[in-house]
Structure 1
């Protein structure tokens, strides 16, 4: 759902992608840790940082063009 929403043309839908992406991260971390997939675990860190960046941009920083 996060990837799907990240490609939406409407900004008000696209901004939700980071919420769903961040919500999924604990499950990805757990799966990677239990399966000893350390490459996937490293990618989880990259994805978590990317979704957090989107969260900051879309939810925490006030944008003048959307006031």
Structure 2
């Protein structure tokens, strides 16, 4: 149950922030997205949802790309 609450709160925050019109707020989406990933891994593994489990790796990679482009690369 705890993982479902964490997934709901963190994932919705990530998607919400990713669509913000202000870049200063939009760049925080990756933090919430990455924070939700351990809960996705745990919940999907526990429920034997292996397709979603594999997709979680792709989502993690995508959030890492956002982290790299918003926080590591200086323009």
Aligned to 1:53: 65
**1:4 and 2:16 aligned:** yes
In the alignment, structure 1 segments of 5+ residues that lack a partner are none
In the alignment, structure 2 segments of 5+ residues that lack a partner are 1-12
**1:21 and 2:54 aligned:** no
Q: Which has the larger radius of gyration?
A: 1
Matches within 5 A, 1:28-67: 28-63=40-75
Offset at 1:57?
Answer: 0.2
TM-score by length of 2: 0.82
Could you report, residue by residue, the CA deviation over 1:7-63 in whole angstroms, capped at 9, with x for unpaired residues? 000000000000100001000000011001001101101100000000000001111
* Alpha-carbon distance in 1 for matches of 2:69, 2:36: 19
SS in 2 for 1:9: coil
Count of aligned residue pairs for this structure pair? 63
